[in-house]
Amino acid sequence: MPVIRAAVENDVAKCAELLGLLFSQEHEFTPDAELQSRGLSLIINNPELGQIFVAEVDGVIQGMVMLLFTVSTFLGRKVALLEDMIVAPAWRGKGLGSRLIDHAMDFACREGFGRITLLTDKDNGVAQHFYSSKGFSESEMVVFRKLLD
């Protein structure tokens, strides 16, 4: 039976490995284990920034999702960005992703968050269907991004 729990510093290497899988299948990103490890540690060691949840099966991390925290002035409350949802290929289609996202949504509700926002690739119909099945709906907003040096 999978266990969903908060990530700790000892999980960084396995989570960075999972992020390598995720970023290798996304169009805009290239995996870099050192950068991913640095980002994961930043969140784990600064819980005011966000929360990373991992799914462990028989003591091995097989999936992860993170919520990054911010504030919506429109809602007048905390909101979260759902980032880096990934399940190891051998565990896809077995309910592990559903357990992870349900856990993240339950956490956000318990903590008083007013909204969860996420991004997914335009051509990733499987992910879009999954998120729709979990109650997410497509926004009319357009994403813009500027990388800073």
Q: How far apart are CA 132 and CA 135, in angstroms?
A: 5
Dihedral over Cα of 103, 70, 81, 53: its sign: negative
Each residue's pLDDT tens digit, 94-131 = 999 999 999 999 999 999 999 999 999 888 999 999 99
Q: List the domains of the chain with CATH numbers.
A: 3-119 (3.40.630.30)
| pLDDT (0 to 100) of residue 60 | 97
| pLDDT (0 to 100) of residue 28 | 76
What is the pTM (predicted TM-score) of this model? 0.93
| pLDDT (0 to 100) of residue 19 | 95
Whether the CB-CB separation of 113 and 77 falls below 8 Å is answered with yes
Q: What residues in the chain have per-residue pLDDT under 50?
A: none
